Structure 1
């Protein structure tokens, strides 16, 4: 367990090996680096940190998860980014999923056998969940979804999407429903990764759903609550990532000041 906040130049207890190996991945090629980072997280049993023990996880709390994210970010932003993107759909499924959905998706997610992407941002609505244009219409046996999403992190490597669609446009936020979509289903199109400024090793893509059959996640009309719960859980992790980014240059600056030769003194002329 990670209970003590680390000093600036010291890794948090129990994270030294994980952070050290993460540093080796900083020079990875861009989009091809996802499997290597994913393999590192599997080896270190990091994927299952917040998952319940009965699902095969470690059952760690938010403090531990934040410290791990902070330490990883100090040496490799993209590795911590991938870990947060793995945990984000976990929070959604653990909040709204049925017992069958949790048993089907969460243990393989912990073992690294499947990958998820969360697709919520839209070209016109942005991240305003109440204004989503993607529509889901009920059909016998389920729903069919049509619409477009952008900036879906890890979409190019995902096996499934957690996404959100409007089942009742007249109800505003209460008409939003969450779904799990198979990335290989007919009608799913994942565009080429965006040419981003940062976080380039984790591909962000536009995704189009064209009359795709999907599984509902949670009750109809409860998607806004599911999204809010999920994103609230993720916010401390994003904050920890920011702290890790700040500490990395600070550590380098302190080391540079320590190692550089002393500046010559200014001598007054007699």
Structure 2
């Protein structure tokens, strides 16, 4: 009886070895990758809240900036205001986890690291009041929304009214959320470049000056809307329960107005 058992196991082992060559394998390549000085957003698995991230462009997908988490490139630390050109090892997973990306990255070399300074944003005409801001074409229209109330305590910690914490003063952002209904007959038109919120005119209750800031890909940085002097006033001079009302007039690439959004800063 042993004469039959031994060949059976040998045949089984042969089949296992033979089939293993057909199993999918990870694809590993060295690629070049650009990392933008500007950031973007993505929605993590299982969440509906946008999270800030890097914007990267791979050499095999030129012209397309894609979101990538800040910690998604092993051994690489992203610094704001820096533009990078990297050599990375990309592994495309044959069997990725269901709740994770299908590829991983590891830094091989930093080929270029350049500090990008933000230039002054020129405006064609002098803007001294809200009435000086011209609206574009079919604007204003209701495309974007922001949180209506932001809480700041005496320690400079920032949160939404629902208790959701924001990053530090230097890293917090005022998120612009697109709420335009896809059933709107002008949905395609309103998503073209002339209707994208590239800039914001900031109307502050603490000054008559109207400032123009860049929104980047997901909204203006908190510190550009509320500069250090105003933030210091909020944290040090305001009493608990006091509020300040700010307004943003979103503007397109031509610096023409799109929509006015208001929010309050409340001292905790």
TM-score by length of 1: 0.26
Which is higher, the Rg of structure 1 or of structure 2?
Answer: 2
Q: With CA pairs under 8 Å and 6+ residues apart, which has the higher RCO, 1 or 2? A: 1
Per residue, is there more strand in 1 or in 2? 2
Per residue, is there more helix in 1 or in 2? 1
TM-score by length of 2: 0.26
